[in-house]
């Protein structure tokens, strides 16, 4: 989770991210940020996020995104 929070902070250093920060509801991530995150998650965690997983629920909070990374990383 710490690595993920660092990635988010690199995108928006002006925000103090926590696992429960509402990324989409608070409009902290835009589509470019999500594309960047997907690429960085692949590099950092070795997890490819397929298009069908690019849904708001998976990017709602850091916790939701981390859950997605763990779930996809198990396969």
- CATH superfamily for 2-11+22-73 is ACP-like (1.10.1200.10)
Q: Is 20 exposed, middle or buried (0-12, 13-18, 19+ CB in 10 A)?
A: exposed
- Which sequence spans correspond to the domains of the chain? 2-11+22-73
Once rounded to an integer, what is the mean pLDDT over residues 38-66? 97
Residue 75's pLDDT is 60
pTM attached to this predicted model: 0.92
Residue 50's pLDDT is 97
- The 10s digit of each residue's pLDDT in 15-44 is 999 999 999 999 999 999 999 999 999 999
């Amino acid at each position: 989770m710490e690595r993920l929070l660092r990635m988010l902070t690199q995108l928006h250093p002006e925000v103090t991210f926590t696992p429960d920060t509402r990324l989409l509801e608070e409009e902290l991530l835009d589509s470019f940020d999500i594309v960047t995150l997907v690429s960085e998650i692949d590099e950092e965690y070795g997890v490819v996020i397929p298009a069908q997983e690019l849904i708001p629920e998976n990017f709602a909070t850091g916790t939701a995104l981390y859950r997605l990374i763990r779930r996809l990383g198990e396969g």
